[in-house]
Copies of this chain bind each other. A is one copy, B any other.
Amino acid sequence: MGLSRNPLSGSGWFYEHCQMWPGCALSIQYKSLLLEMQTPFQLLQIFETESCGRMLALDSRVQCTEADEFIYHEMLIHPAVFCHPAPRRVLVVGGGDGGAVRELLKHDGVGHIDLCEIDRNVVAASREFLPSLSCGLSDPRVSIHYDDGAVFVRQRRGFYDIIVSDASDPIGPGEALFRQSFLEDIQNALRPGGIFISQGESFIVHFEFFRSFAGLMKEVFPSVSYCWFPVPTYPGGTLGVFLGGFAHDFRIPRRSPPPGFDNQVRYYSAETHKASFVLPPFAADVLR
C-alpha cells in the first residue's frame, strides 16, 4: 500500500474529522445516503452503512449507529435511574433520536418524560429512519417540546427526579448545555434527591474537556461521578457520562434491576454498573 494513495478516497465513505480529536478521524463506509438536509440548526444526515446499520450524523459528527447505540443509551440512563429511590418525572434535553426515552420507558416507576429537542427535524428523521430508537416517542408518558433546552429548563423549578442532557459535542447547538449557568438551572429544576446526567465525551481523547467539565460539575453538585463505556463509532471508541447529585455514591445502585430486566438490556448489569465508574489513576485524580 503506497503512502500517497488514500484507499478510502471517493464517495462511499463518511469522514468524521472533528476539532475535538485533532489529528485523528474515523471513517465509516456507507451504501446509501437516506437523508441529507440543512436544518436551521445543523446539517442532518442519515446513512445506511456497510457494517454499522443506519447512522445519524449532525454537522458531520456521528450521533449514533444502530450497531452500538445500545451501549450509549443504556449507560446514559440505567446507572442514574437505579441510583434514584423512586424516579417519576424525567426531562431529556436533546436526545431527539429517542434512544434515551426508549431506555427510560423500561422503568415502570417513570410516569412522565419531557423531551426537549431544539431541532424537530431530528425527531422526524428518527421516526422515519430509526424506528428501533424512536419506538418510544409516541408513548403516552412522553411529551415532546421543540425548544432550546437551556431556556426550557430555566422555566421549571423543583420538578424533575432525573434530568438527562443527551447533548451533542460542546461545539455548535450543544455548546449551551455545557455552561455553568445551565448546570445551575438544572440544579434548580431538580427535586430534592434529584440526579443530573450529562453526556461527558471521552476521558482519554478529550481529557482537557473531561477535566474542565468535571470542575464545573463539582462547583454545582456535591456528588459528581463519571461512568464510561465503549462506543466504537465515537471518537476514541469510548464515551462517558457525568452524574451529579446531592449525597449519593453513584457507584452503588440504590435499587436492583427488577425480574426480567436483564432481558431488556445487553450492556447494563449490576456488575457493569459498578465497573463503569472505575477510572485509572490519571483520570480518577480529576474527580477527587
Contact residues of A with B, CB < 8 Å? Answer: 1, 3-4, 6-11, 13, 15, 17, 21-29, 33, 36, 43, 49-52, 60, 68, 71, 202, 204-205, 230-238, 262, 265-269, 271-272, 274-276, 278-282, 284
Specify the main secondary structure of chain A where it touches its partner: loop
Chain B nearest Cβ from A273, distance in angstroms: 9
Closest 7 CB pairs of A and B: A237-B237, A23-B51, A23-B50, A275-B278, A232-B236, A275-B275, A267-B280
Complex CA–CA separation, A281 to B267 (angstroms): 6
Closest to A238 in B: B230
Complex CA–CA separation, A231 to B238 (angstroms): 9
Residues of B within 8 A of A233 (CB): 24
CB-based contact B11/A9 at 8 Å: no
Chain B nearest Cβ from A281, distance in angstroms: 5
Q: Of B52, B234, B262, which is within 8 A of A281 by CB?
A: B262
Closest to A22 in B: B51
Chain B nearest Cβ from A71, distance in angstroms: 8
CB-based contact A60/B1 at 8 Å: yes
